[in-house]
Each structure stands twice: as structure tokens, then as C-alpha cells.
Amino acid sequence: MKKTLSVGFTAILAFSLISPVYGDSSTTSSPGASTISAKVLAKLNQQFSTSEYVTYLVKLKDQVDTESVAKHAFQKASAEQISPAAAKLSVRKTVVNSLMDTAEKTQPSVEEYLKKEVNNGNVKKYKSYFIVNAFAVTSTKEVMDNLATLPEIDKILPDEKRELQKVEIDKDAQPVGEQSTANQAVADQTAVDPAVTVENAQKSVQESVYKDAVAPSRVEWNISKIKAPQVWAKGIDGKGIVVANLDTGVEYTHPALKRKWRGLNASGQVVNPELSWYDAVNGASLPTDSNGHGTHTMGTSVGSDSNGTNEIGVAPGAKWIAVRVFNPDSTDSILLDGGQWILAPVDKNGKKHPELAPDVVNNSWGGGPGLDEWYRPVTKAWRAAQIFPEFSAGNTTLSNPGGPGSVANPANLPEAYATGATDINNKLASFSLRGPSPYGEVKPEISAPGVNIRSSVPGGVYEGGWNGTSMAGPHTAGLAALLLQAKPSLTVDQLEDVISKTATPLTDSQYRTSPNNGYGYGLIDALAAVNSVLN
């Protein structure tokens, strides 16, 4: 595998939020103007031409090499011979402390200037970050230009809009229970190949989809397909593991999810909700979701009814926490805010708690194709803190019709583990974006069911027919939770290695060998993955 963290980490690559497009400094004469032109992305000047106040990101020069920090922390923990759980926590705290220390030492002069300009009315608002040593600022152009002249400032970048991965919902394809799921699978097979008789398709479905299910009348086809029920039969269902998502929020009162929210105690009472939920968009104090996307993806990771019906989740014993960053769109500053909270949830007094960070974070969102490193420091920090970073590969759009090299960022980053989408017949979904990555790597790394997926939606109900790599990704996040219960000492690199190497290789007429840039290493196999670490 390209990411080898047995105890060490990969060497640090270029550290930046985004590859800058420099303004033309040839038309400027003063040293100040030349400095501004070199640091400020040209697009920002255009935004100021139509608005007095613009929001932008200010990145400082001093940045933490989180991979190196984590490597040394692991070595120290190994020398002290502490338990794997204690080692992970020690590494995570060391990473967070290093990030916070750097921000505290380098940000004061910038913040002092911003506070002064708030009083002068030239700065509407600002927010500092430590996961990337940076600020989000809403100000006049004069303030931005003055910031650019400060020696500690590296780059000033637009606060770009980011869109949630759009999913297609087929209201006519909502299998509920064994028989309707089987009927839908039969219809899928006969539609693909008219030569396949209904009788043969029915036999094929029964053999390929349901033969291994513990309770086929209650388990969704996609959960059976990846052999999660056989793992549950071993007593492994994700218990003790925490899965998070950055999404549109989660309806915490949903019967498939309520008792699994970490913000509830054993009696079902809400306790310290701010440590298990963060709304970076609207500031809601309790988990909520007006869109449905986040509730659906979380259901696929951990959902199930208390009475044993509606087995929609891969790791139904796991707990969940969540961050709302889409409503339905988002911005870079909001996503940085949410990504930072994942690393260290914040209590009512503003104290950060890296010990309460999740073990896995699902990201069913993404941008365009190509080289765009704006979220790379966040993903690196998650990895360094031993938070498994799953990203959906992305779906075709009018601006990104797919094909080679189309996989979306941040899923195409070397530090992200990307999931593509397959259907009930293990065929790559037409909308699933393809590799290679801009770094020449195979992408996506893995595939999971993402066509006609039934899961939880707001209103306490369930809905099928959801199509998208957004639906595929949570399967991988759930599998990571199962593996971490089976062997808690697994590092992020080891998790990726296990999931990839135990997958069922998938090929077709376009991708004749495995791994490939359509299916990655193939369809995730929960049973094979868990058995490999148990053995």
C-alpha cells in the first residue's frame, strides 16, 4: 500500500491549502503591491469589485508537519510500552497540542490587527483555526491588502463554495424486506440481460444476495452483499467504536439512530450534546437534518431498529456523532470548522477534547476533479490522529461527466480512502467517478453498494432507491468500525491495507485487471476483512 504507517508515517509532501494562481505583478511597481499580488489569489480582487465585504481565508506560513509529529509520538509510546489504546490517545493529544501551540504562537499579531479593524468597522467577522494555521475573515479590500503585507502570512485564498454530492432518488425502487428486495434484484438482472430468465435470475439472487444473511427478511441486500451479518454472528457489530460524518446533519430521534447517538446516556437523556454534535452552519444545539442526506448515510454506517427490524447499517453496535456542514451547500471555512471539531470536540467552556474524537469519519461530499489541495492538511491531521478518513469518490455532473481522472477532491488526495459505487450485480455504477488520481495513484481504493440503497430518512421513516457514491462510502466507514472492534490496535494505514487486500476483485470489459481505476481493489468483504485480523 502507498500509505505505510506500521509505526512510522509517509514522508511529508508539499503542505498547502490550494495551489495558488498568482496575480500579474508585472503591472505593479511598489514593494507592497508586489507582495500583495504574490500572496492574494487573483479571484479575490474580482469579488471585491462587486462587494465591499468579502469572506476569504488567510493562511499563515508556519504549519505543523502532523505526520512527523505523529511518527515521533508513536515511537515514544512504543518505547514506553503502553497499551495500544493509550498509545493512540497519546498520539492524538500530541498532534492536537502541536497544532494548537503553533497557532497560539503565530496568530496573536494577526488577531490583534483584526480586532482593531472590527472596531473600525472594516472587519465584519473573523475566525481562527488550528487544524490549518489560518483565519477566515470577512472584511474590506483594504484590510485584506494590509494582511498580505504581513511577513507571517503565506497566502490569501477565496472562501470557495462546495456542493454536497447530489444523489438520485428513484421513488419507484424502494425494496422493503426480503421479497421486494429479491423482486427488485430479479428485475435488475433481467433488464441488464434479456436472455436471463426470471427463474434463473431468482435463483441467482437467492444464492448471491441472501445465502449468507443471518435474518434475510430484515437485512438490506447491500448489507448482506458485503457479508456484514456473518460478522455480527461472531459478536462483532462495532461496539465501542464511534463513527462520525460531515454531512447535512442527522435526525437523532430516528428509531434506527436515536439510541446510538453518543449524546444520550443509558437512560435516554441528553448529556453534553455539544461534545457529540456540532452545527457549523446554523448552530442548532441538538442533531437535526432538514435535507435527509446525512441521516441516510449515517443509517448505512450504524443504523438498525431496536426491535431487530430494518437492519440498514454495517456496524449497528457502534455509536455516532455528527457535524452539519451542508445546508445544502457549504464553504471552505465551514468545512475547515467542521473538520477541526472532528479532531477535538469542544465543550461549553471552549475546552477541546481530542479524547472524544471519533474513530472513523465518513465524507459523502466532494468538489471537482484534479489537483486541489485545500482540504489536504485536514485529512493529514485526521490520519495523524488515527481517525480513519473515508471519502466518496464522487458522482458525474454536467461539469464533470466522468471518465479517466474524474475522481473528486478531496477523495483523490493520497491521504483519503475513496469508495466507488456498485450495483446489486457488482457492476460499477455509471455515475461513479474514476481514477487515476492527480498523484498517479489508483482511485477509488475500494467499492461498495451505492445503487438502490434503502436507509433512514427524516421523519422516523425509511426510503429506498437512493443512488450515489454517497451511499457507498458509509459501508466502508462501517467496515472500519467492525475492524476496530475486532482489533483496536489497528492504525489507519493498517485498516486501509486490510480492507483493500480482503476485497473481492472486480473487473469488466473496461477494467480487465485488478486493482483498477473503476472498482479499486474490488467490493468490500466484511467477513474476510474481520477474519484476517482475528486470525
In sequence order, what E strands does 174-328 have? Answer: 242-247, 277-279, 319-324
Beta-bridged to residue 346, according to DSSP, are: 352
How far apart are the two ends of the chain, measured CA to CA in Å? Answer: 21
Residue whose entry in the numeric block shows the C-alpha cell 480586532: 115
d(CA 528, CA 498): 9
Give me 398's grid cell: 454536467
d(CA 429, CA 9): 34
Number of neighbours of residue 510 by Cβ within 10 angstroms: 10
Question: Which triple of cell numbers denotes residue 479?
Answer: 467496515
Which cell numbers in the block locate residue 204?
441467482
Q: How far apart are CA 53 and CA 479, in angstroms?
A: 45
Q: Cell numbers 476533479 correspond to what residue?
A: 369
Is residue 242 within 8 Å of 303, Cβ to Cβ?
no
Asked if 484 contacts 319 with a C-beta cutoff of 8 angstroms, the reply is no
The SS3 assignment for 316 reads coil
**CA dihedral (478, 484, 485, 487) positive or negative:** positive
Q: Which of 29, 52, 32 is nearest to 40 (CA)?
A: 32
Q: Which of 462, 391, 460, 472 is nearest to 431 (CA)?
A: 472
Residue from 527, 471, 533 nearest 497 by CA: 533
Which residues does the annotation mark as catalytic?
247, 293, 470
Buried b (16+ CB within 10 A) or exposed e, 374-389: bbbbbbbbbbbbbbbb
User: Is the bond leading into 444 cis (omega within 30 degrees of zero)?
Assistant: yes
| Residue 221, phi then psi, degrees to nearest 5 | -55, -40
Triad 457, 274, 341: Cα angle to 5° = 90
Return d(Cα 440, Cα 443) in angstroms, integer.
9
| Total count of residues recorded for the chain | 535
Backbone angles phi, psi at 354, to 5 degrees: -65, -25
Number of H helices, E strands in the chain: 16, 16
**Do 44 and 56 form a contact (C-beta atoms < 8 A)?**
yes
In the block, residue with C-alpha cell 458509509? 474
